[in-house]
Chains A and B, each alone.
Chain A
Amino acid sequence: MKSKKKNKQARYEQWMAYLFIMPQYLGLICFVLIPVIVCFVLCFTSWDLIGEINFTGLSNFVSVFKDERIGKSLINTLIFALGIIPVTTIVSLCLALLTNREIKGLGFYKATYFLPMATSSVAIVLVWYWMFAPDLGIINFALGMLGIEGPGWLIDNAWARVAVILMSTWQGLGYYYLIFLAGLKSIPKEYYEAADIDGANTVQKFFRITLPLLSTTTFFVIITMTIGALNTFQEPMVLTEGGPEYSTYTIVMYIYDLAFKFFRMGEAAVVSVVLFMLVVLVTIVQFRLSGKWVHTNE
């Protein structure tokens, strides 16, 4: 009699639990799992949003890979990643090293450095658009004060890329700074004390203790930045609209153009899948490589 009651109780609990996870699972199925499958299917069809959906085999793949924009957007992404990652990593790590001690105004610095990330939006990109303005912009004015003739930011192919990199660095700096600082704080002080007793200098301590023990953090930082670079959209969209001559055009902009400017849903799906694969690939490659230089506590 008692066990029957208990059984009933357990079944009630189970049904309630299913009810509680239902909203999230419904969303997961409708807005993530099914769309992902549909995206893969769409790759093999042609559709302009209005007419019929026709199966076209591999023709979308052919036309996407014949289009020069896929190569350009991939190269730009690579350039952005190669520009943003080293600069941001070095600067944010240096700031973290400088503040990993008793310091006046630490709270203020943390809050200030993170502000650009907290406010990342179209509105702040617009502010950079204004600062980069070639004739009246404050950046070229400041350069002029230093006796340097400012470049044509946003209108010169190479400098437009530098502008995007500069702005992205500004935006991400504080976030990665906080991550590095948390990583530094997790290194046990005893290691440094032991090194002091052995007479190690600051440089030795940095390369022998700090850097190896920080490798998990660095790994996380680099993966996050790479995936961020792959998904870049807002900054070039507002700063340069992808130009000049596609020099700041990104993969997500290409997807957007294909789907909502040219209404080629099949080709847009192909590029989405390419992006998806790249994200997965980056993650796998970095996990593989990490075995060689990431120090873990296990």
Chain B
Amino acid sequence: MNKKNRINKYLIQAVLIIFAVFCIFPFYWMVLTALKSSNNVIEFPPKVYPTSFKFSNFADVFRLMPMGQAYLNSIKVTLLATFGTLFTSSLAAFAFAKMRFRFRGLLFGILLGTMMIPGQVTLIPLYIVFARLGWIDTHLPLIVPTVLTNAYGVFMIRQFMINLPSDYVEAAKIDGCNYFRIYWQVMLPLCKPIIVTLGLFTFIWNWNNYLGALIFLNTDTKFTVPLIISAFRGVYTVQWELLMAASTVAILPIIIMYLFSQKFFIQAVSLTGIKA
């Protein structure tokens, strides 16, 4: 029995490791290819271990395409959109969780109802609106709607706040705090876990937003990282070492972030079913 158990245990570990390799391999292959010279890439049979370290591929990525500019654009768009939406959604969540006002239930219900509307339905009309506002080929269409529409975020933060004791709010009121200070100095620090989690998911979503960028941006100096990557695919079709170097550069910030905060991600998915 004991022996059978042990064999079982090894068997399970073997299966799990095979799937782990399946999940990681594309990343490994990406970095490996990115470090090859163009001769190494067409070498047959391909080597699955590093044979060369051609770091100049990364420099080429920045030289051949405005990757540096795209990086700055992506950082700007992602940070503004993420912090903006965290602010507006937590502010609304605070009102829904801890303040009394008429139509509170109704207004919250409408907000939840809109969560089911897929983004593709609003795409065409939004394009028209932004065209009229003269926002096409600027970063505003990628920032403003994200900041101002986050029903899911409002819902999640409200659920979290509702479980916090209202005593804090009442005590702060007696101390003469106004509502904004209660929100900013009392509630927000208490909501750190949910804010961090939502922040991580929003950051990734914005960093990887491809469809939005594809539609609203035209000039290559305005491009964000995903657009530059797809432009790369069009121009350097079979220069695999360059394409993979570009992919590595694009994914790196997300991988680093993930390595440091994977526990948050896993916990959030397990508890709430949030999707990246």
Contacts and interface: CB of A to CB of B under 8 A. Distances in A.
Given A104-B13, A181-B270, A122 B123 contact: no
Interface string A158-186: 00000000000010011100110110000
A170 B26 contact: yes
Interface in A4-62: 10, 13-14, 16-18, 20-21, 23-28, 30-36, 38-39, 42, 49
A1 B202 CA distance: 49
Interface in B69-108: 88-89, 91-92, 94-96, 99-102, 104, 107
Contacts of A24: 88-89, 91-92, 111, 148-151, 154
B271 interface: yes
Contacts of A272: 120-121, 123-124
A269 interface: yes
A272 B123 CA distance: 8
B269 A175 contact: yes
B240 A275 contact: no
B275 interface: yes
B243 A38 contact: no
B186 interface: no
Interface string B231-273: 0110000101001101110110011001000110110011101
B23 A182 contact: no
A170 B229 contact: no
A99 B270 CA distance: 14
A283 interface: yes
A276 B24 contact: no
Contacts of B275: 117, 175, 224
Contacts of B104: 17
A11 B263 CA distance: 43
A231 interface: yes
Contacts of A30: 129, 148
16 contacts: A13-B179, A24-B89, A24-B149, A27-B145, A32-B149, A34-B125, A39-B125, A99-B16, A120-B208, A121-B210, A130-B243, A170-B22, A179-B269, A182-B270, A233-B210, A269-B124
Interface of A: 10, 13-14, 16-18, 20-21, 23-28, 30-36, 38-39, 42, 49, 91, 95, 98-99, 103-105, 107-124, 126-131, 133, 136, 138, 141, 170, 173-175, 178-179, 181-182, 220, 224, 227, 230-231, 233-234, 237-238, 252, 255-256, 259-260, 265, 268-269, 272-273, 275-276, 279-280, 283
Interface of B: 12-13, 15-16, 19-20, 22-24, 26-27, 29-30, 33, 41-42, 44-46, 48, 88-89, 91-92, 94-96, 99-102, 104, 107, 110-111, 114, 116-118, 120-129, 131, 144-145, 147-151, 154, 178-180, 183, 204, 207-208, 210-211, 214-215, 225-226, 229-230, 232-233, 238, 240, 243-244, 246-248, 250-251, 254-255, 258, 262-263, 265-266, 269-271, 273, 275-276
